Amino acid sequence: MCLEISAWLIEHPEGRLIVDTGDRAENSTPGYLPWWHPFFTTQVSIRVAPHEEIGPRLCQISLNPSTDISAVILTHYHHDHTGGLHHFPHTRIISPRDGWKESRGLKGKMTGCLPQRWPVWFRPELVEFDGPSVGPFPRIRSQTAQRSSRRRSDFRCAAIRSAVVHQTR
């Protein structure tokens, strides 16, 4: 079974936003992923080509990840959401406070976070998601945006899919 890993480009009046950054080509290199982790050693085979990372994908649609993106928003800290951070070294990174501390320790590593592979400059702006629950997911919450008077419908969203797949073994 193959699953795509997606990132999202949102064109908003306040700028272009990326939601999650996908995975990276190094995950396909033997020894890059933790040898001791059963998920990475027995459950999946991650195959990412360099041209499938988010930076090259943005360039394919004539966007420069270094200059054309206003902010990156991370939904959480798993490897398939943070793998493309290295393409945004000078971009504002916004992520949830919930899970930040855990993602950097053993609990995070056991649940799919790879903090040892994050860029050394990675210091996200932590936010509280204090809005109402989204759909049937009680732990997924929106952030209350009090400073913006723009309507939610004032943006366009597009998936940036890569041919990157997780293949269950």
- 71-120 pLDDT, tens per residue? 999 999 999 999 999 999 999 999 999 999 999 999 999 999 999 999 99
Give dist(CA 65, CA 62) in Å, integer. 10
CATH number of domain containing 105: 3.60.15.10
Q: State residue 161's pLDDT score.
A: 60
Residue 22's Cβ-count burial label (10 Å; 0-12, 13-18, 19+) is: buried
145: pLDDT strictly greater than 50: no
The SS3 assignment for 16 reads strand
Q: Number of structural domains, the chain?
A: 1
Print the domain residue range for 54.
2-168
Residue 151: pLDDT band by 50, 70, 90 thresholds?
very low
Residue 139 pLDDT exceeds 80:
no
pLDDT tens digits for range 17-69 = 999 999 999 988 888 999 999 988 888 888 889 999 999 999 999 999 999 99
Q: What is the pLDDT of residue 125?
A: 96
